[in-house]
Amino acid sequence: MDEVLAAVAETIKNFAVIYLVDITEVPDFNTMYELYDPSTVMFFFRNKHIMIDLGTGNNKKINWALKDKQEFIDIVETVYRGARKGRGLVIAPKDYSTKYRY
């Protein structure tokens, strides 16, 4: 996931910024957003947490590694467009539930 984040940072710089946070340094943040996984991607817009419906049941974060750069760019772009319209919950461009994994 680190490679994908580093690779897309330049591409999405006009509408998103990537921050890396060490969860051992900010334990209050861990409790507030239920951060237990080694890699978690969350979205914020104007200091507000933006939730995204990925079809997994967890609308607060992405807690698995995405390997495709374009797929991550599509998710970030969708979240940005939804957040600008004032939506607190954005629908992902693809369903990530296990029923579509082969």
HEC profile of the chain:
CHHHHHHHCCCCCCCCCCCCCCCCCCHHHHHHHCCCCCCCECEEECCEEEEEECCCCCCCCECCCCCCHHHHHHHHHHHHHHHHCCCCEEECCCCCCHHHCC
Instruction: With beta carbons less than 8 A apart as the criterion, state whether 23 and 30 touch.
Output: yes
Residue 97 is inside which H or E element, if any? none
18-29 pLDDT, tens digit each: 988 888 888 887
Mean pLDDT of the chain: 85
The closest alpha carbon to 51, from 7, 80, 89, belongs to 89
Give mean pLDDT, residues 32-44: 86
**Residue 102: pLDDT over 50:** no
Give mean pLDDT, residues 66-93: 88
pTM: 0.82
**Residue 100: pLDDT over 60:** no
| 87 φ/ψ angles, rounded to the nearest 5 degrees | -85, 140
Topology of the domain covering 2-100: Glutaredoxin (3.40.30)
- CA-to-CA distance for 22 and 35, rounded, in angstroms? 11
